[in-house]
Amino acid sequence: MLGISSIPILKLRDFLIVSIQIDLHDRMAEQLQQDILEQISQTQAKGVLIDISALEMVDSFIGRILADTARMASTLDSEIVIVGMQPAVAITLIELGLSLGGVRTALNLDEGYELLQQTLEEKASEGQTSEEALAEEADDGGSD
Amino acid sequence: MTVVQIREESDIVRARTTAKEAARELGFGLVDQTRISTAVSELARNIFLYAGEGEVHIEELNNHHGIRVSFIDHGPGIEDVDLAMKDGWSSVRAMGKGLPGAKRLSDRMEIHTETGEGTTVTIEKWLSPSSKLRIASSPNPRGGPSLT
Ligand SMILES: Nc1ncnc2c1ncn2[C@@H]1O[C@H](COP(=O)(O)OP(=O)(O)O)[C@@H](O)[C@H]1O
Ligand SMILES: [Mg+2]
């Protein structure tokens, strides 16, 4: 799928995969955010892997876009994992004073994929426990 | 000296790419190149956002001592520099990390600004003695006199 940002968004089963291979200018970054969110809601993807290994820098604008996208995705019940951030970029980001607070990161696509799977399993089991708890409450109510 | 005009948004990318390339040629390592291009991105964006247009001057400090990048605009100026330098302060509810972040990423930063006249921000990054040695011992990529 090619969004308006012209950065391809690939769907693989329940996941979307985005690899940023060009130097993002600001409008393009905003457009990509919109494309990703649209694809999440269209495909009901449960997770998104965003590969930024080709990004040579992340400044406060791109950092904010990444963090915002992750936050908005989670309101659509989808999890975002940022993968492949170059060490030099990570160091610079900290010195710039930016924390990608709450954004999950992984070293590479493989680890990002595992992290997504794990996160979704945890989410599913949490969902189950709360369902079980509800069922128990209902039982308690019945035995009175 | 290399001059990058800032008129449209894509010029921000041009400024940071040009600065990074200059830093690489001067012998800066990858982390310093990234620090420089990130600071340039922030300060060039400030020109575009707050002054509309301006110029980025990229130059080498004497004797391969480092790099200096100046950001010159004739926009509205910064009313309260101390406030603008505060981490997280932004007049437009943005991140407020540009000025304080650029200062942390460079070795020296200066701001000259006057309301109604414009703003000039200058940053410098210096080569560490070890990277100077690397230049001295490797063939000079630009063919100029090498460090002794
Ligand atoms: N070149 C400039 N001309 C006028 N005002 C500026 C300029 N650069 C920065 N400022 C002011 O300083 C504030 C802080 O800048 P900065 O630290 O980059 O944060 P942000 O851009 O996220 O607001 C800006 O919100 C703006 O009001
Ligand atoms: Mg700024």
pLDDT in tens, A12-34: 999 999 999 999 999 999 999 99
Domain-embedded: residue B131: yes
For strand A104-106 and strand B2-6, is the pairing parallel, antiparallel, or unpaired?
A: unpaired
Q: In what order do the strands lie in the sheet with B54-60?
A: B2-6, B54-60, B66-73, B118-126, B108-114
Domain-embedded: residue B143: no
Do B30 and A88 lie within an 8 Å CB cutoff?
yes
- The structural domains of chain A, with segments of one domain joined by +, span 9-118
User: B50 CB under 6 A from ligand 1?
Assistant: yes
Domain-embedded: residue B148: no
* Residue B134 confidence (pLDDT): 58
Best B17, B20, B28, B34 residue to mutate vs chain A (most A CBs within 10 Å)? B34
Name, in order, each residue with C-beta under 8 angstroms of B146's C-beta and a sequence gap of 6 or more: B135, B136, B139, B140
**Is pLDDT of B136 > 70?**
no
Task: Give Rg (Cα) of chain B.
Answer: 16
Distance CA B88, CA B101 (A): 10
How many angstroms away from the CA of B118 is the closest CA of chain A? 23
Distance CA B104, CA B108 (A): 9
Distance between start and end Cα atoms, chain A? 56
DSSP string over A65-125: HHHHHHHHHHHTT-EEEEE---HHHHHHHHHHT---TT-EEESSHHHHHHHHHHHHHHHHH
Averaged over B70-99, what is the pLDDT? 97
With beta carbons less than 8 A apart as the criterion, state whether B7 and B13 touch.
no
Residue B113 host element (H or E) = strand B108-114
Averaged over B126-131, what is the pLDDT? 80
Q: What is the number of other CB atoms lying within 10 angstroms of the CB of residue B67? A: 26
**Is pLDDT of A136 > 60?**
yes
pLDDT single digits (tens) B37-60: 999 999 999 999 999 999 999 999
Averaged over B122-132, what is the pLDDT? 84
Domain-embedded: residue B58: yes
Averaged over B93-99, what is the pLDDT? 95
Q: What is the number of other CB atoms lying within 10 angstroms of the CB of residue B145? A: 9
**Is pLDDT of B148 > 80?**
no
Which residue type does B2 have? T
**Is pLDDT of A101 > 90?**
no
**Is pLDDT of B147 > 50?**
no
Domain-embedded: residue B96: yes
For strand B108-114 and strand B118-126, is the pairing parallel, antiparallel, or unpaired?
A: antiparallel
What kind of architecture, by CATH, is found in domain A9-118? 2-Layer Sandwich (3.30)
* Number of domains present in the structure of chain B: 1
Distance CA A78, CA A41 (A): 9
Q: Which chain B residues have a beta carbon less than 8 Å from that of A60? A: 42, 94-95, 97-98, 101
B5: confidence class by pLDDT, cuts 50, 70, 90: very high
A70 vs B63, more confident: A70
* Residue B111 confidence (pLDDT): 98
- What does the block give as tokens for A17? 């995969």
**Is pLDDT of A143 > 70?**
no
Averaged over B73-102, what is the pLDDT? 97
Domain-embedded: residue B147: no
Mean pLDDT for chain B overall? 90
Q: A1 — contact with chain B (CB < 8 Å)?
A: no
Picking from A85-89, B18-22, B62-66, B119-123, which range would have the lowest pLDDT averaged per residue?
Answer: B62-66
pLDDT single digits (tens) B13-27: 999 999 999 999 999
Query: Which residue has tokens 């460079």?
Result: B106
DSSP percent split of chain B into helix, strand, coil, nearest 5:
45, 25, 35
A128: confidence class by pLDDT, cuts 50, 70, 90: confident
* Residue B146 confidence (pLDDT): 40
CA-wise closest residue to B98 among B44, B146, B144: B44
Q: In terms of residue numbers, what domain contains B46?
A: 2-137
Mean pLDDT for chain A overall? 90
Task: Please state, in angstroms and as integers, the Cα–Cα distance from residue B43 to each residue in A135, B15, B57, B74, B102, following that order.
Answer: 57, 10, 12, 14, 7
pTM of the model: 0.89
- What does the block give as tokens for A140? 């308690």
Distance CA A121, CA B12 (A): 42
At B41, which CATH number? Answer: 3.30.565.10
